[in-house]
Amino acid sequence: MEERSDMREKLVFLETFGCQMNDSDSERMLGILKGINFARTDDPGSADLILLNTCTVRDKAEQKVYSTLGRYKELKKARPGLIIGVGGCVAQQQGEKLLKRAPHLDIVFGPHNVHRLRELLLEADSGQRVVATRLTETIDADEYGVTGSSSGEKAFVSIMRGCNNFCSYCIVPYVRGREISRPSSEIIKEIKGLVSRGVKEVTLIGQNVNSYGRGLHEGIGFPTLLREVNGIEGLRRIRFMTSHPKDILDPLISSFGELEKLCEHLHLPVQSGSNSVLKRMNRSYTREAYLSRVQALRDLSPGISLTSDIIVGFPGESDEDFDATMDLIEKVRYDAIFSFKFSPRLETKAADMPDQVDEGLKDKRLLILQERQREISLEKNIEYEGRVVEVLVEGGSEKNHERLSGKTRSFKTVKFDGNEELVGELVQVRIVKGYVNSLIGEMIEKG
Ligand code: 5AD
Ligand code: SF4
């Protein structure tokens, strides 16, 4: 891969692991690459550039990165001009060590260096091996807003980055740095641009969106930002994630009753239903406080769907602690949960806590939790049968182009028959059947 200024279109193979922050960073990478004549390919074998955007939140995610990277060794041998880069949280955490571990790797770049991708490629082209893992405490105006590659009906918009919470199990504050918000004017400008290109739904993302605005001179908070976004003409739906339960205050809760574009879904990770575990996790709320926030939300928005993240097998988690989590899911009746076995992460407090839970017991608890949640999810989805819901059509199925799928405002996946031309449209669908992870419907009309 010699010159980047020539006109020949180059191909990039990009694989994204992990959370929506990485999805959004990958979009930025693609936007930058598009500007220097790269197109995306699904085939690493034909790529001029291979990028992995990585996750280190649990050990399993990290190991997957190493095995994937290993697969590209032969490709590099066959074509020395191929450039291979690793971005994201594993890159940030491992830095130089990654280059040592993988001699066929050219670029290691952390989440704060995504906007420098172009210059990093030039350095790699000139034969250097590059590490870019500096964490910065400010955000430059040109770092975000490069979403040139997204052309769909929905988009992620980063409103802040980093995290100051230091939950005792979590590596994120170490690899994504301190919390910092983007000025609201830039966010609004970015969303208006997306809407002008046909985007109907935005998801405002950050590790902890409820503390948006802290540290900004403009004296703005998250509820005010939501109100401003709600006012953007042409935009139809707003979502946000992730929220920290300690920061779900009344003004935000009232947004659900007041802002017509704000979708009736909240991802509110509880992590555990036991107060003693929550305390050791450094989550700064109790189960009672959490349940009272849920009640306040449901009082205002009775149909709101709720999802959560739950960790089982946190150090010292007793049978009683686990029972408290099971009891909490009965009380909340989440629409869906993401559940994980505790995975000790380097540098975090929980990794060194006493009474680490046996792997077998973690497996057992995870299974019990997931089985019960499947039943609850199914019951909740059956409740949709007969209802008419608004669906934003996302695409046809690979096998059958007349089989469409999309999301309700409450974030349920709906499958139904319809013409592929409806992709990107809002349609009204009557639900005929609820399954654990999706709903089946019949289209009534274009909304
Ligand atoms: N072990 C297991 N799960 C974790 N998560 C974060 N860190 C860990 C860890 N060390 C989970 C939390 C978080 C989600 C993104 O990942 O539930 O909300
Ligand atoms: Fe990790 Fe806690 Fe920050 Fe979420 S709020 S990113 S779980 S430290």
Mean pLDDT of the chain: 94
- Ligand index nearest the alpha carbon of residue 308: 1
Question: Which phi and psi angles does 4 have, rounded to 5°?
Answer: -100, -5
Residues 6 or more apart whose Cβ sits within 8 Å of residue 386? 430, 431, 432
CA distance 226 to 205: 12
Give tens-digit pLDDT for 89-144: 999 999 999 999 999 999 999 999 999 999 999 999 999 999 999 988 887 777 77
Pocket test for ligand 2, best of 93, 165, 309 (most atoms within 8 A of CB): 165
Of all protein residues, whose CA lies closest to atom 1 belonging to ligand 2? 170
Separation of CA 238 and ligand 1 centre (Å): 25
pTM: 0.93
Pocket test for ligand 1, best of 19, 20, 63, 170 (most atoms within 8 A of CB): 170
Rg of the chain taking only CA atoms, in angstroms: 22
- Ligand index nearest the alpha carbon of residue 311: 1
Give tens-digit pLDDT for 184-237: 999 999 999 999 999 999 999 999 999 999 999 999 999 999 999 999 999 999
Q: How far is CA 240 from CA 4, 34, 35, 244, 318, in A?
A: 37, 27, 28, 12, 33
Q: Residue range 281-296: average pLDDT?
A: 98
CA distance 404 to 234: 23
CB of 107 closer than 8 Å to CB of 124: yes
Residues touching ligand 1 (Cβ under 6 Å) are: 19, 57-58, 169-170, 269, 271, 309, 311, 340, 342-343, 345
Give tens-digit pLDDT for 11-48: 999 999 999 999 999 999 999 999 999 999 999 999 99
pLDDT at 2 over 50: no
pLDDT at 149 over 60: no
Separation of CA 273 and ligand 1 centre (Å): 15
Here the tokens at position 18 are 């992990």
Residues touching ligand 2 (Cβ under 6 Å) are: 163, 165-167, 170, 172-173, 207-208, 244
Query: Which pLDDT band, with edges at 50, 70 and 90, does 6 fall under?
Result: low
Give tens-digit pLDDT for 335-382: 999 999 999 999 999 999 999 999 999 999 999 999 999 999 999 999
Sheet order of strands, 237-241 included: 154-158, 201-205, 237-241
Query: Which pLDDT band, with edges at 50, 70 and 90, does 3 fall under?
Result: very low
Residue 277: closest CA among 340, 328, 332, 325? 325
Give tens-digit pLDDT for 43-97: 999 999 999 999 999 999 999 999 999 999 999 999 989 999 999 999 999 999 9
Of all protein residues, whose CA lies closest to atom 2 belonging to ligand 2? 167
Q: Residue range 154-158: average pLDDT?
A: 93
CA distance 332 to 245: 14
Q: What is the pLDDT of residue 137?
A: 80
Give tens-digit pLDDT for 395-418: 877 777 789 999 999 999 999 999
Separation of CA 200 and ligand 1 centre (Å): 30
**Alpha helix segments (H runs only) across 204-249:** 222-230
- Ligand index nearest the alpha carbon of residue 209: 2
Here the tokens at position 378 are 């199914």
pLDDT at 270 over 80: yes
Give tens-digit pLDDT for 297-324: 999 999 999 999 999 999 999 999 999 9
Q: What is the pLDDT of residue 145?
A: 67
